[in-house]
Amino acid sequence: MNKFHLKAPFLLAALFALAAFSACGKQAAPAPGEPAVEAVATEPVATVQNETAAAATREAGEISAETTAAPDEAIDTQAAGVTEAAPPTELKPASVQPSVRLTARAPAPPVSARFKEGRNYQKLVPAQPTSVNPGQIEVIEVFWYGCGHCFALDPGIESWRGNDKAPYVQFLRLPAMWNDMTRLHARLFYTAEALGKLEEMHTQIFREIHVRANPLNSTEQISELFQRHGISAEEFNKTFSSFAVESKLQRADLLNRRYRVQSVPMFVVNGKYTTDVSGAGNEQQLFQLLDELAAHEHGG
């Protein structure tokens, strides 16, 4: 009786100590080659304590064997007949096959290697509709009569469009529409076109401004110029303020915004590409670039 009462407290203490070591072991397993539990008691206190500890160890060993078997059964899902959920499938970039990336070819550039997109010409995004017939390629010069660079480039343009451009290229002009002065000169341009005088007067208008120093900044000055080319003041006034000319001005304003015109002279090829003299490199390379872009569009 006394021996039983003496064993019981120590037996319970040993069980609590063993349970504590088991929980730590689940959370942090010992490294390979290290003991699972370090020895704590080193010297016997009394014979009764030794016997009690031995009994507790035997009984705790049986309990430990039972309690440690349960986790093994829970983990071994195949032995228990439980189907384990499959691990999540690793996502791989299978939508783009490496072989496709290796064999896919980038679209050929529209021009030779000496001209680079972003340096010599710009791609117009979005591309704009053209106003030419099927099979023709539209090349537009955006200009202003008061621009000295446009005046200097005009002889080269006349030579290119008359002798050098491909027969499928349709060359058109578009006046700039920035402010009151450019709009006045745009009205002058469309008035000459409506009166059938544009081919005759286009270069002369440049010369009137840049050689004769007549700015053509008033309706009276413009009317006098037309009279020198055989157009009466009455006919000029009627055409200058006509609905046809107003409609052309509205369209020119729309195209200026669509092409995002910031400077002149500027060129638009088939509603898809823009360039200028400085971008191309020089005047000669400008016309070569226009030819290559137009040829690409015609062949594509």
20-41 tens-digit pLDDT: 333 333 343 344 444 443 333 3
pLDDT of res. 109? 74
Choose between 79 and 275: higher pLDDT.
275
Q: How high does pLDDT run on average in the chain?
A: 78
User: How far from chain centre, in Å, is Cα 165?
Assistant: 34
* Adjacency order of strands within the sheet including 169-175: 122-123, 273-275, 266-269, 137-143, 169-175
pLDDT of res. 43? 40
Q: Which of 16-30, 82-96, 186-200, 226-240 has the lowest mean pLDDT?
A: 16-30
The string of DSSP codes covering the chain is: -HHHHHHHHHHHHHHHHHHHHHHHHHHSPPPTTS-SS-----S---HHHHHHHHHHHHHHHHHHHHHHHHHHHHH-TTTTTPPPPPPPPPP--TTS-HHHHHH--PPPPSS-TTS-BTTTBEE-SS-----S-TT-EEEEEEE-TT-HHHHHHHHHHHHIIIIIS-TTEEEEEEE--SSHHHHHHHHHHHHHHHTT-HHHHHHHHHHHHHTS-----SHHHHHHHHHHTT--HHHHHHHHT-HHHHHHHHHHHHHHHHTT--SSSEEEETTTEEE-HHHHSSHHHHHHHHHHHHHHHHH-
Band (113; pLDDT cuts 50, 70, 90): confident
Choose between 46 and 298: higher pLDDT.
298
- Residue located via tokens 């009569």: 145
Which domains are assigned to the chain? 1-21+45-66 (no CATH), 122-299 (3.40.30.10)
pLDDT digits (tens, 9 = 90+) for 125-134: 999 999 999 9
Q: Which of 32-46, 90-104, 259-273 has the lowest mean pLDDT?
A: 32-46
pLDDT of res. 104? 52
> What value does the mean pLDDT take over residues 279-284?
97
